[in-house]
Structure 1
Amino acid sequence: MTNSVVIAVDGPVAAGKGTLARRLADKYGYAYLDTGSLYRAVGAKVLRAGGDPADAGFATRMAESLEDSDLTSKDLRSEAVGLAASKVAVVPGVRAALLDYQQRFASQPPGGKPGAVLDGRDIGTVVCPQAQVKLFVTARDEVRAGRRHKELMDKGENVTFERVLDDLRRRDEQDRARSAAPLRPADDAHLLDTSDLAIEAAVAAAVDIIARKLKP
């Protein structure tokens, strides 16, 4: 790592970590990376090629050939791609292919920015274990499913709340049970439950934590 400030924001799907991380990056003028989009891009690339996300060799080849244009695909937020992302994320070869990209982003933030905010599942534990600030964002299952359901309905996807809740819990289990970088808070992470917090309140709580951690 260089002297750039790194803020790691981890947590399960729909906990609010992405919105929080983007707001923090804007506030501090830091570079922002949604690392989940990398895995979604790999999952989408596998599906478009007609492959099986559980095929480790194929998924690894897709990760190794990932291009910036793959990160802007319109289908990255679909449920099918989300499930594929959880499957490719357990493949050690995929994680290795994407790890270097993430670490370079953190140590050398693009645009000469003074710091970086990365959100994902294993930023504080694997990608940036030396991050100056580590946040683990969570929320109750039903709250997270409600947020995700609204997001999908707003995009015109006709899916039931129960289906979203089931998918969310299945993805949680996949993320926690995988042998490669399972979802868990770092030992020195600050837990932030957003179940009953509006985004402004969540940002304020995070800013307070950051101020204490970065205090000279």
Structure 2
Amino acid sequence: MYIKNKKLIIAIDGPAGSGKSTIAEKLSELLHIFHLNSGALYRIIGLYLNQQGISPKDLEKVETALQEIDIEIKDNKYFLNGKDVTEEIKTLEAGKLASAFSQNPSIRKKVNEIIKDVSKSIDIVVDGRDIGTVVLPNSDLKIFLTATLEERARRRWKELKVKGENVSYQEILNEIYERDNADSKRSIAPLKPAKDALIIDTTNKSIQEVVEEILSILRRKEINGNKSF
């Protein structure tokens, strides 16, 4: 059982399909701390703005529309202006919108403010693409997960097929490749591991193996002054 002596912040970054959200969720359950998926915030905002017919390049309209967005997280579910959008934001289309809108400075500022505000008062594990490098650079532990492009595409394709989405493996492969390229080359907070992050290749590892590896690191570092997890 996790015993709190001081606030704990764990940052988990990585490209699409690397397993960061799943790993972060498992860690939050085992450590009894809050899990915040930064990608979900971008997906929510992207969906809303797209529904309003607003382009990510229209800075003025984006700035105005952001004032209309109320995001709430309850019981690991995400709500947009009171509506549960947890499943809606897991689609391939939502992922594409997140990548496009995340390059807008105003949107990045809003998402970062939400994350920083939540992390001020509670123990938390946050997953994203620039958490350890930009958003929460003073995190107690920084993890960067990766995997081969093919493996990440296979995981995402399998996940979407289970949800009933009619998508091909090649379509997913192309989408992840394009997103990797856009995320790593963007001028604002590009996708890259923090200098002090532990890089874990999850290609041939199970979820449990990765979780155990991270827990082992926490024990060795004796974060929070104990080895109670």
User: TM (normalized to structure 1)?
Assistant: 0.91
Is 1:58 paired with 2:70? no
Aligned to 2:84: 72
Aligned to 2:191: 183
Shift of 1:64: 3.8
- For residue 40 of structure 2, what is the amino acid of its counterpart? S
Is 1:148 paired with 2:151? no
Give the conservation status (yes or no) of the 8 Å contact 2:23–2:207: yes
SS of 2:40's partner is helix
- For residue 215 of structure 2, what is the amino acid of its counterpart? V
- For residue 100 of structure 1, what is the amino acid of its counterpart? E
User: Bigger shift: 167-176 or 56-65?
Assistant: 56-65
User: Bigger shift: 140-149 or 94-103?
Assistant: 94-103
User: TM (normalized to structure 2)?
Assistant: 0.87
Is 1:134 paired with 2:134? no
Distance in 2 (CA, whole Å) between partners of 1:206 and 1:181 is: 25
Q: Which has the higher helix share?
A: 1
- For residue 164 of structure 1, what is the amino acid of its counterpart? I
Give the conservation status (yes or no) of the 8 Å contact 2:21–2:127: yes
Shift of 1:77: 1.2
- The answer for unaligned runs of 5 or more in structure 1 is 110-114
Q: 1:59 to 1:210 in 2, by over 3 A?
A: farther
Aligned to 1:121: 129
Distance in 1 (CA, whole Å) between partners of 2:59 and 2:92 is: 21
Shift of 1:210: 1.8
Give the conservation status (yes or no) of the 8 Å contact 2:146–2:201: yes
Distance in 2 (CA, whole Å) between partners of 1:6 and 1:50 is: 37
Distance in 2 (CA, whole Å) between partners of 1:142 and 1:63 is: 36
Distance in 2 (CA, whole Å) between partners of 1:65 and 1:212 is: 45
Distance in 1 (CA, whole Å) between partners of 2:172 and 2:136 is: 31
Shift of 1:51: 2.2
SS of 1:9's partner is strand
Aligned to 1:30: 33
Shift of 1:173: 0.9
- Give matches, 1:78-89, under 5 Å: 78-89=91-102
Distance in 1 (CA, whole Å) between partners of 2:165 and 2:181 is: 24
Distance in 2 (CA, whole Å) between partners of 1:116 and 1:105 is: 8
Give the conservation status (yes or no) of the 8 Å contact 1:133–1:213: no
Shift of 1:60: 3.6
Distance in 1 (CA, whole Å) between partners of 2:193 and 2:145 is: 9
Q: 1:57 to 1:12 in 2, by over 3 A?
A: farther
Is 1:99 paired with 2:112? yes
SS of 1:135's partner is strand
Distance in 2 (CA, whole Å) between partners of 1:121 and 1:61 is: 26
How many residues are aligned here? 209
Q: Percent identity?
A: 34
Deviations 1:15-57 (A, max 9, x none): 0000100111111111110111000001100121122234333
Distance in 2 (CA, whole Å) between partners of 1:116 and 1:62 is: 28
Distance in 2 (CA, whole Å) between partners of 1:12 and 1:72 is: 26
- Give matches, 1:36-47, under 5 Å: 36-47=39-50
Q: Which runs of 4+ in 1 moved over 6 A?
A: none
Q: 1:54 to 1:168 in 2, by over 3 A?
A: farther
Aligned to 2:75: none
SS of 1:156's partner is coil
